[in-house]
A and B are shown apart, each in its own frame.
Chain A
C-alpha cells in the first residue's frame, strides 16, 4: 500500500515537472530577439532595442572594418499601455522579443512629467525589468537609437558605463526595484539619472528628482553631486580644493552619512552628518599639519556647499530623495500622521555638517 502511494506520488511529481517546464519553453537563440534596452515615451509609444546578432559576429571577429557598423536596431510599438505597445512591436518583428537580457529602461521625459504610476504598475509584473538600470531621456526612442562609440550595442554600453565606479559616484543610479521602493515608501522620493544624446553620443547629465511619481526637477551636475554625498553614493571622486591660492587634488575614499531628525517646537528639523575620508593625489610634496587642517576644512566646506545647494533645490521642488521624511517616520511613528510632509518639507530646517579626514599627506606619525 505504502509502495503504491509512493509510486503514485513519484509519477505525479514527474508529471508535475512537465507542467513546470517543457519543450514548449525551448526557443532557439535564432528565434529570439534579445532586447537590451526598453524605452517608454508615454503617449502610447514603447521602443525596444534589439542587437542584430549577425552583425555582432562581424565585430566580435576582431580585425577591423566593421567597428563602426551599427549592430542593433530598434522597434517601436504604439498602444494604450505597455502591454499593447509590446504586442504591436512584437507584431512587427519576426522573432520573439525576449526581455531576459534587458539592461536598461529609459523613461521619456514626457512620461515622467505625466507620472510613472500606470507604467510602473505594469512593469512590476514583468520580472525581467526588476534588475534593470533605469534613466530618463528627453526622448527614449532617440536615446535608444543612438549608437555608442565603444560597444556595438548601446544597451550593453550603458550598462557597463553605469557600472563603472567613476560614473556611479557622480550620478547616482540604481536598479528598478529601488525605484519601485522609492515609489511606495512614504517620506522618500525616487530619482533617476538623466541621459543626454548630443552629437550622436550618449552621456549622463544630471539627475531627475521626482515628487511622488512625477518629475519635480532636473538637477545639474553640482546638485547631483550634492545628492550623491548625502546618499553615500560618491566613489573615488576626484576633488579639487583651493587653500591659500594653491590647488590640492584629492581622491575620495569613503564617506558615511548619518541623518538625525528632531523637533524644533512643533516643527520637525533634520540634520545630516557627513564624514569623508580622502587621500591626497597631488601635489606629492608633503603637507604640514597646519595646511592639512586647512585642506580638511576646505573639503568639508566643499561638501557642505554642494549638499546645501542640492537641498535647497530639492526643497524648492518639493522632492525628498534623501528620505528625511522616512527618517522622521522611523524616529517618531506616532507623530508622523499629524505631519503634513508635503507642506512641511519645503520649509524644513535642514542642514549639513561635514567632517573630513585626509590620508596620504606625506607626514610621518
Chain B
C-alpha cells in the first residue's frame, strides 16, 4: 500500500490488535493484528478514532462465528463499506476514506471520514440579485446536491452519479426530473458524458467543451449557473443539469441563445418590469455588438446618413486627428480589452486605482493630446458599457469578438459589410444545436407561445406550459388559474365581514 500511494508522511498507519471471541471455536479469545490506514490530509482523524478504533479497542469483539460479520456489527459508522480489491481500496483512500485491514481476513472495511475545507454557500459574484434567494453552489458536490434536493422535494428528481477521469476519477452528478425531462436528451447527455475520456476534471467547464454539439463554435451552447434556484427552475422546465465535484458551476442543457440573456431577476418582478429590462438587455447586446462597426460604416462610407448637425460635430471631432478612423477604433477597442484583463488580474485593493488611471486619465489625456477623438471615446465606452447588461459572462466576450468582426467587415465594405457579417452570424446561429434543440428556438424554428418567455416575459399565469422546444414529457407547468375575485371593504362597517362573497359577480 505504501508503495502504491507513495504518500510518505501523509499516510497514517495505526497498528493494533483485535480480540475476538468467536462462537465456532470455543477455544477462547483469539488475537488478530489489524491496521487502520488513511491519508491525513483528507481524513478527520477524530472520526476514525471514534468510529473505527474505539469500538475495536474497547474490549473483546463478540461474534457468532464469522469474524468479518462481527467486526461489521461492531463498527457504528453508517458509511461502512466492504471491498475485497486493493485497487478500490486505494481509490477509496484517495477519496478520503479510512481503511481497516485485518490479518487473515478477505474483506477490507472503509468508513467515510472526509475532511474538506468548505466555503459557505454564498451568493455567486456573477449572478447577484436584489430580490430572491442568496445562496450559491460551492465546490463540494454533496453539498450542492443537498442545495438542489432541498428545493425539489420530489422523488422524481433523479440524481445519477458518474465518475469521469481516467487518472483522477471525479464525481459528476446528472440531475433531471423524471417524467418531465425529455428521455432522448437524457440518453444523449449520459452517452456523451460516458464517452468523455479526460484524465482529470478540475472544472465542469472542461466537460462543456467536450460534450457540446459544435466544438468549433464561438457561442456557448450551454448555460452556466451557480444559483440553486436557477437550476431548480430549469430542472422543472425539463432541462438537465450537470454538476462536477470541485466546481460550483452547474451546466444547464439544452440551452438556447435566449437563455443566455435571462436572469433570475426576470422572475422576481412583474411582467412589465421584467420585459422592459429584458428589452434593455437585447438593446445592450445589439449596441455592444454593432456600434463600433456601425460608426465606422456611417462615418467613413455613408456620412449622408448621419443627421446634419451630428455629421458636423463628428467632422469637428475628427479634425486634425493623426490616425485613420479604423486604426483609432480598433486600437481603442484593443486597449480597452487590455485594461479589462489588467484590472481582472489586479488585486481589488489597487484595481480601482488601475481603473481610474486606465479609464479616466488615459482616455482624457489621449483626447487632450489630440491622439484620439472624443466621439471615439464615447463610442468605445458606450459599446463596452452596453455589453455589461448581458448576464452570461462568456457571451459578453463572444459578442466582443463579434464586434471586432463587424468592425473589420464595416471597414472593408461599409454598411453592406456590416449586413453581410450579420447574415454570416445569423446563418451560423440557426445552424447550431444544443443537444438536439435548435439554438435559436423557440423563435427559429418558431413554436407557438414560445415567444412568451423569450424577448418578453409574459405574466406567469400565461406561462402555463413548459418550453415546448425542450420536448418535455409533461407539458403543463401551471394547472388551472383563476384570477382572484376582487374584494370590497366598506369603510365604517366595523366588526362585520364585509368581504364580497365569492359567488358574487366579478368587478366592482
Interface residues of A (CB under 8 A from B): 14, 17-18, 20-23, 25-30, 32, 34, 36, 51, 53-54, 56-57, 60, 98, 100-101, 103, 128, 153, 156, 159
| Cβ-defined contact, A51 with B308, below 8 A | no
Contact of B315 among A22, A25, A32 (CB under 8 A): A32
CB neighbours (8 Å) of A159 from chain B are 308
Contact of B412 among A22, A30, A51, A57 (CB under 8 A): A22
CB neighbours (8 Å) of A17 from chain B are 413, 416-417, 420
- Give the docked Cα–Cα distance between A29 and B306 (Å): 12
Contact of B316 among A14, A53, A103 (CB under 8 A): A53
- Which secondary structure dominates where chain B touches chain A? helix
| Cβ-defined contact, B308 with A103, below 8 A | yes
| 8 A Cβ contacts from B291-310 to A | 299-304, 306, 308-309
CB neighbours (8 Å) of B324 from chain A are 28
| Cβ-defined contact, A34 with B303, below 8 A | yes
- Smallest CB gap from A98: residue in B: B303
CB neighbours (8 Å) of A18 from chain B are 413
- Report the minimal beta-carbon distance from B134 to chain A, rounded to whole angstroms: 47
| Cβ-defined contact, B319 with A156, below 8 A | no
The yes or no answer to B198 lying at the interface (CB within 8 A) is no
Residue of A34, A36, A159 with highest tally of chain B CB at under 10 A: A34
The yes or no answer to B263 lying at the interface (CB within 8 A) is no
- Smallest CB gap from B303: residue in A: A100
CB neighbours (8 Å) of A27 from chain B are 300-301
- Which secondary structure dominates where chain A touches chain B? helix
- Give the docked Cα–Cα distance between A57 and B318 (Å): 10
- Provided the pairs A34-B315, A60-B316 are in contact, do residues A101 and B416 lie with their beta carbons within 8 angstroms? no
The yes or no answer to B238 lying at the interface (CB within 8 A) is no
- Give the docked Cα–Cα distance between A32 and B302 (Å): 12
- Smallest CB gap from A54: residue in B: B319
Contact of B319 among A23, A53, A128, A153 (CB under 8 A): A53
CB neighbours (8 Å) of B299 from chain A are 28-29
| Cβ-defined contact, A101 with B303, below 8 A | yes
- Give the docked Cα–Cα distance between A51 and B303 (Å): 15
| Cβ-defined contact, B416 with A30, below 8 A | no
| Cβ-defined contact, A29 with B416, below 8 A | no
- Give the docked Cα–Cα distance between A128 and B314 (Å): 20
Number of A-B residue pairs, CB cutoff 8 Å, is 87
**Chain B 341-367 interface 0/1 with A at a Cβ cutoff of 8 Å (1 = within):** 000000000000000000000000000
CB neighbours (8 Å) of B5 from chain A are none
| 8 A Cβ contacts from B94-145 to A | none
- Give the docked Cα–Cα distance between A268 and B106 (Å): 126
| Cβ-defined contact, B413 with A29, below 8 A | no
- Smallest CB gap from A72: residue in B: B312
| Cβ-defined contact, B412 with A23, below 8 A | yes
CB neighbours (8 Å) of B412 from chain A are 22-23
- Give the docked Cα–Cα distance between A128 and B309 (Å): 17
| Cβ-defined contact, B303 with A23, below 8 A | no
What 7 A-B pairs are tightest by C-beta distance, nearest first?
A: A100-B304, A57-B316, A56-B316, A53-B315, A29-B318, A53-B319, A54-B319
CB neighbours (8 Å) of B302 from chain A are 100
CB neighbours (8 Å) of A153 from chain B are 312
- Give the docked Cα–Cα distance between A36 and B315 (Å): 13
| Cβ-defined contact, A57 with B317, below 8 A | yes
- Provided the pairs A27-B300, A28-B300, A128-B304 are in contact, do residues A101 and B311 lie with their beta carbons within 8 angstroms? yes
| Cβ-defined contact, A57 with B319, below 8 A | yes
Residue of A14, A17, A101, A159 with highest tally of chain B CB at under 10 A: A101
The yes or no answer to B411 lying at the interface (CB within 8 A) is yes
Besides A21-B413, A21-B417, A29-B300, 20 other A-B contacts (C-beta < 8 A): A20-B413, A21-B301, A21-B414, A21-B416, A23-B411, A26-B326, A28-B325, A29-B318, A30-B318, A30-B319, A30-B321, A34-B315, A53-B315, A53-B319, A54-B316, A56-B313, A56-B315, A57-B319, A101-B303, A101-B308
- Provided the pairs A20-B416, A21-B413 are in contact, do residues A26 and B300 lie with their beta carbons within 8 angstroms? yes
The yes or no answer to B320 lying at the interface (CB within 8 A) is yes
Residue of A17, A30, A100, A128 with highest tally of chain B CB at under 10 A: A30
- Smallest CB gap from B411: residue in A: A26
Residue of A27, A29, A34 with highest tally of chain B CB at under 10 A: A29
| Cβ-defined contact, B420 with A29, below 8 A | no
| Cβ-defined contact, A22 with B312, below 8 A | no
- Report the minimal beta-carbon distance from B100 to chain A, rounded to whole angstroms: 68
Contact of B309 among A14, A30, A156 (CB under 8 A): A156
| Cβ-defined contact, A34 with B316, below 8 A | no
- Give the docked Cα–Cα distance between A344 and B194 (Å): 96
- Sample (25) of A-B pairs whose CB atoms are under 8 Å apart: A18-B413, A21-B416, A22-B412, A22-B413, A23-B411, A23-B412, A25-B301, A26-B326, A26-B414, A27-B300, A28-B299, A28-B325, A29-B300, A29-B315, A29-B318, A30-B320, A34-B303, A34-B311, A34-B312, A36-B312, A54-B319, A56-B313, A60-B316, A100-B303, A101-B311
**Chain B 402-443 interface 0/1 with A at a Cβ cutoff of 8 Å (1 = within):** 000000000111101100100000000000000000000000
CB neighbours (8 Å) of B317 from chain A are 57
| Cβ-defined contact, B321 with A56, below 8 A | no
- Give the docked Cα–Cα distance between A53 and B313 (Å): 8
| Cβ-defined contact, B312 with A53, below 8 A | yes
- Report the minimal beta-carbon distance from B304 to chain A, rounded to whole angstroms: 3
CB neighbours (8 Å) of A53 from chain B are 312, 315-316, 318-319
Contact of B312 among A20, A23, A25, A56 (CB under 8 A): A56
**Chain B 44-83 interface 0/1 with A at a Cβ cutoff of 8 Å (1 = within):** 0000000000000000000000000000000000000000
- Report the minimal beta-carbon distance from B311 to chain A, rounded to whole angstroms: 5
- Report the minimal beta-carbon distance from B124 to chain A, rounded to whole angstroms: 44
Residue of B300, B302, B316 with highest tally of chain A CB at under 10 A: B316
- Report the minimal beta-carbon distance from B377 to chain A, rounded to whole angstroms: 15
CB neighbours (8 Å) of B326 from chain A are 26
- Report the minimal beta-carbon distance from A232 to chain B, rounded to whole angstroms: 27
- Give the docked Cα–Cα distance between A276 and B315 (Å): 46
Contact of B320 among A21, A23, A54, A100 (CB under 8 A): A54
